[in-house]
Amino acid sequence: MKKIVFLLLFIPLFAFAESMYSPTWGFYLDLPEGYEFVHGDARDRFSFAGPGGLLFDMVIYNDRYASMPELIDDVNRRIGNRGETAAFRYRERQAALMKLIFGNFDGWGLVIELESRTGGRPPMLLALAYGPASRNDLELFHISALDSICPTAADRRYPGPVIEYSYPRGEAKSVPLAVAGVSAMIRENDATAAQTLIEREFYILQHYIDSPNWKEAWIRYYQFIYRDSYDRIATAASALARNFGWRAAFSDEEKRAFSQKVLGFVQGFRYERDLNGSDFVNLVTAITEGRGDCDSRAMLFAIVLANTNIRSAIMLSRQYSHAMGLADVTGAGARFESYETRWLVAETVANVDIGLIAQDISDPQYWLGVVFEYQDE
């Protein structure tokens, strides 16, 4: 057992990975690291170029086409695309996934309805992610780029459109959680889908190990998992919160005590690692089976707190091979400061109180913070 000491640290550690928000249309986009904006009007048209020949084009059409099939047919004709298209619905919106095979390129395309801001026909977003057909290693980059699209702010807490199409969530079933006597509704395919996304994004992350922007890639990895996981475990997180005595009228002291209960829950997990893969147990499995490594526990801690409107985050260390939770609650303890918030540290693998951190992993220069909920949300 590591020696636990009481440390007070006030260090500005946090950074946000680059992402894009359109105030005109209300969508969000978070491409893998290394893409650069190369041309377009930055309103209705955007073109990006990434490493290894990665290309990403996006256009928003408002009233130009009478239907989505008409748009797709026109795009296929103009670029000479020979790939097939599959229509589906994403969050009650029309959407379609396009296989791209044209010229010397291949990749994937996505068409999805945006939110109508005039009460008329919804605008349609077309995104094409492609690259040289000879580069088979770019496939998951294309899919990740498209899956990062959030048509609205609410979708930032919901699985992306590509993973939703590829792994329909299925029926909700009552499943026991890793707390005696507590159950919650979990959709039957959510654990498989969540783990698939984690392994996909881990594959992409490996390309940035020696990159100057490895920190930004790491942040994107965890923010992507958070987005995909939040709704999958929202009902379970609420059930846990009720079991731990959550109520909306909590005082500051009660919020800290509640956070301690959530921390104790994840501290009781079976420690598990998989060094041949992502080494991250998806949060559906973690919350139902009570197992996982430090980063799975830290993110689960953060989501349960966020579900009760307690601001939370996580912190990561490549040097220490460790992760911890962070909570915006009052009281004494080790803290990390960022964006006008002094977060209280939550060690998820040692059975210690919130606010305590081991002395031999306490050097702030070796920690990187990841914030999931922005200040203006």
Q: Tell me what pLDDT residue 6 has.
A: 35
Query: Whole-prediction pTM value?
Result: 0.93
Residue 59 — φ and ψ, nearest 5°? -135, 140
d(CA 208, CA 179): 38
Provide the 10 A C-beta neighbour count for residue 5.
12
The four Cα atoms 5, 346, 339, 235 give a dihedral, to 10 degrees, of -170
Query: Rounded to whole angstroms, how far apart are CA atoms 354 and 223?
Result: 23
For the chain, which residues make up each domain, given as ranges?
4-15+170-371, 31-147
> Which one-letter DSSP state was computed for residue 232?
T
Q: How far apart are CA 9 and CA 342, in angstroms?
A: 9
Quote the tokens at residue 264. Answer: 């104790």
pLDDT score of 4: 36
Fold of domain 31-147:
Protein Transport Mog1p; Chain A (3.40.1000)
Q: What is the per-residue pLDDT for 18?
A: 61
pLDDT value, residue 272: 81
Q: Identify the architecture of domain 4-15+170-371 in CATH.
A: Roll (3.10)
Cα-based distances in Å from 102 to 74, 125, 135, 137, 184: 14, 20, 14, 18, 47
According to DSSP, the β-strands at 172-176 and 341-346 are unpaired
Per-residue pLDDT of the chain in tens (377 residues, 90 and over written 9): 333 333 434 333 443 446 899 999 999 999 999 999 999 999 999 999 999 999 999 999 998 999 999 999 999 999 999 999 999 999 999 999 999 999 999 999 999 999 988 778 899 999 999 999 999 999 999 999 999 999 999 999 999 999 999 999 999 999 999 999 999 999 999 999 999 999 999 999 999 999 999 999 999 999 999 999 999 999 999 999 999 999 888 999 999 999 999 999 999 999 987 766 788 999 999 999 999 999 999 999 999 999 999 999 999 999 999 999 999 999 999 998 776 788 999 999 999 999 999 999 988 889 999 999 764 44
Write down the pLDDT at residue 32: 96
Looking at residue 13, its amino acid is: L
